[in-house]
Each structure stands twice: as structure tokens, then as C-alpha cells.
A = this chain, B = another copy of it.
Amino acid sequence: MKAYQELSREELLDLKDELSRAFDIVKEKGLKLDMSRGKPSVAQLEMGMGLLDALDSKSCMKTAAGLDTRNYGLLDGIPEAKKLMAEIMQVNPENVIVCGNASLPIMYDTISRSMTHGVMGSTPWCKLEKVKFLCPAPGYDRHFAITQHFGIEMITIPMSPQGPDMDLVEKYVKEDASIKGIWCVPKYSNPQGYTYSDETVKRFAALKPAAEDFRIFWDNAYAVHDLYEDRSDSLLDILSECEKAGNPDMVYEFASTSKISFAGAGIAAIASSKANLDFIKKSMTIQTIGYDKINQLLHVNYFKDIQGVKAQMIKHAQILRPKFEAVLRVLEEELGGLGIGEWTKPNGGYFISFDAMEGCAKEIVARCKEAGVVLTGAGATFPYGKDPKDSNIRIAPSFPTPEEMAQATDLFVLCVKLVSVNKLLEQKEA
């Protein structure tokens, strides 16, 4: 395969004709596929239906300690659920509060509470002139949406396969007391599928922030979401690393079973130091009498422990893996060596990150949409929805069937080629 950059103007024009015809043919098919979000597929949801048998009208509704899950109370969750979520995050149960149906609201509430009530006695952020967050990017659009919603200024931090650029992170948090936090998806990052190296985690734990109310928002969304049984990434426990480094209160960790049990009907948790949890509970006890403990009991009855979770994740992987492999195979076969795109090959998580030639991402996404395949909006993986290079595209292979996934990827590579050819022709004409 010859790289597109080496093609002459004439070769590019011929290619353009050929690709345009191919595009018109696909467009005729009237595809209607959605690769925009990390949604579990119907097959995954069907696989998990046993959960609904884990409680019925004959069940014991009490915890081992005798607490009735059907009644009010128990702000921080039933002990059995705390243990389960602690095992998923590899932390101690006493560092865990089990909350509602998803982790996103916990993160939102954490920011919202910091705005109105500060962090462990600090000035409420809404009273400050300026509050800033570091945002490793490409990253998770819903994180950036929260900080943007609260008027928090976002600073982009470049990502590498080892994690965020720690030189920059260290410099920023040390020098600027208005920097109050950083968003992290440390394992199988959204969208690249990178896992932070041990060195990165240790450097995070050893940060010396100018702001005493600086916190690491550690969204461990894919803690057990391996795609392969024989090669999985491992992540150091940030809580114990922070404690060792003398920064016990510097991190909030988040996790949920949204992509373990059911999306939007799972259980979610926050893990942090006792001092942080005590402060959080001061607001939480005003906000709620308690989260849904029946759903917590349902999850505990079904999964029992981390072994049950891991067994479930192997079944999820069996459904997800062929889709990831289908995408990666088509990308490799169709784009390998062409010099018009690079992509990640993750061992877990829900996404593949694709980097097109600069200035091509929006057009590729638009072309795909024109032919019936919805991708995550270009730019969504950056703060304010603005990718400075207009290059990154998040591919979410989970929802379509493997057949649909192959069709969608065929269209995707076609659009990448077509848009890249146009870009190269523009450049030659300029």
C-alpha cells in the first residue's frame, strides 16, 4: 500500500472518483447505525437477565446485620454492597459509599457540592473569582460537560499511552491555586483504552498542589472491563498510593456496575479517605435518606463477590471482543500503511480512539452521518467540544451487532479515505 501523501494529483483525483462512487453506493443502502455512545448491546443485556431473578416476593430482604433494605436509612449503602464495590475498585469497604444507579450523578454532585459548600472546609468554589480543571484529552465528554456547566475553566492536558502528561500536570497544580481538580479515566481510558502506568499513578499520588482543595477525580469506569482473558491491563490503587505519599485526601474514586449489570440500573459508588467521606456525608444526609438498597441487595445476591463480577465480565467480553476485532481488522486492512489515520488497540473498555489527518475529523463524521452511521460528534472528546487539530474520532463498537459493526466500519474507512483525499488535494492546490 502506498501512503496517500505520496500520490500524485492525478492519482488522488482518480481515487477521489472511485471513492465517491463507492460512497454513493453505500449511501443508497440507507444504513441506520449508531456508534456514538458506549452503550451495551441487546445481547449483553439479555445475558444479564438473571439479575432480575435475584430477588422475589419470597426473598429475605435483610442484610447479614439484620437491616431491612425495604425501609429508610443506611446513608452509605448496605455493607455487602460496599464490600462488592470495594472489591471492584480494589479499595477497603470503609472507604466506600454506595450511591444510586450510576456514577455520573455522583461526580456531578461532587462538583456541585464543591461549588456551594467547598471541600472539607475550603471556600465554596462559587465564591471564587476563577476555578480551573485540568482535562486530559482526548477524554470523556460528559466529564467536560459537568465542569463547563458550572463555569469551570478547562485546560487541556495531552495524553500518552502512559496517561496524562505528568510534567504539565505537576507544573500546573503546583503553580496555580485556582486549579481545583483533574478528570481521569485511569483504566481503559475513554476514548483511547489507555491504562495509566504505575509511574503515572505514583506521580499523581505525589502531586504538591497549591490549592488545598485540589482533588483528583478518578473515574474508574472500566476497572474490570477486560476484553481478553490472556492480556489485561492493571492499575495501581490510587487511594493507597495517595496515603503512602502523604496525600490521603487528594482523590475521589468513582465506579459503577452500569456496564456490568444494566446500563442506568446498576449501583454506583464513591471511594475516598475517611475525612473526605465524612465531609461528603454532611451534605448527603441532607440530600437523601438513603439510596436504593433493594437494588444494592439485588446486585449482591446476584454477583455474590468479585468472582461473580469477573465471571460476568468474561461473558461481556465474549460479546464485545468480536466487535472490537472486526473494527480493528477493517481499519488495519483498509487503512494500514496509508498514512491517513492512527488508532488505538485497547485491551479493555468500550472505545477505540481514531486520529485522522489534521482538519478531517468533522468532515469524516459528517460523511458517515450522511450515509446513515452516527459517530460521536468530532471534538466531543475535547474540552468545550473543540479538538484543536480536528483529528480525533471516538469509535464505540459495543452497541451494533458484529455484522452491523463490519458494515459501519467499511463506511467509516471509506469516509476517512475520501475526506483525506480531498484534504490532500486541497493542500496540493494551496
Contacts and interface: CB of A to CB of B under 8 A. Distances in A.
Interface in A20-53: 37, 39-40, 42, 45, 48-53
Interface stretch (A195-203, A258-266, A303-311, A329-337): A258-266
Contacts of A45: 61, 68, 70-71
A45 B263 CA distance: 28
A73 interface: yes
B291 A101 contact: yes
Chain B CB count within 10 A is highest, among A102, A109, A124, for A102
Given A59-B52, A149-B283, A72 B37 contact: yes
A37 B39 CA distance: 41
B61 A292 contact: no
A323 to B, nearest CB: 16
Interface in A52-67: 52-53, 55-59, 61
Contact of A289 (B42, B117, B264, B295): B264
Given A100-B101, A265-B295, A50 B61 contact: no
Contacts of A49: 57-58, 61
B286 A264 contact: no
A267 to B, nearest CB: 10
Nearest to A73: B264
A265 to B, nearest CB: 4
B102 A289 contact: yes
Counted per complex, copies of this chain come to 2
Contact of A71 (B52, B72, B101, B264): B264
Contacts of A288: 102, 104-105, 108
A114 to B, nearest CB: 10
Contacts of A68: 42, 45
Interface string A278-305: 0000010011111111110000000000
B105 A287 contact: yes
A273 interface: no
B290 A264 contact: yes
A294 B265 CA distance: 6
Q: How large is the interface on A (under 10, 10 to 19, 20 to 34, 35 or more residues)?
A: 35 or more
A112 to B, nearest CB: 6
B126 A116 contact: yes
A384 interface: no
A37 B101 CA distance: 26
Contacts of A102: 288-289
A130 to B, nearest CB: 15
A366 interface: no
A115 interface: yes
A144 to B, nearest CB: 10
Contact of A70 (B70, B146, B265): B265
A145 interface: yes
Nearest to A108: B287
B40 A71 contact: yes
A69 interface: yes
Interface in A178-209: none
A292 B100 contact: yes
A37 B265 CA distance: 28
B264 A72 contact: yes
A265 B69 contact: yes
Given A39-B71, A52-B55, A112 B105 contact: no
A289 B56 contact: no
27 contacts: A39-B71, A45-B61, A48-B70, A49-B57, A51-B57, A52-B56, A52-B59, A52-B294, A56-B56, A70-B264, A72-B263, A102-B288, A104-B288, A104-B289, A105-B287, A105-B288, A116-B116, A142-B286, A142-B289, A145-B286, A149-B286, A262-B294, A264-B293, A265-B292, A265-B293, A265-B294, A292-B295
The 4 closest A-B pairs by CB, nearest first: A265-B294, A49-B57, A101-B292, A108-B287
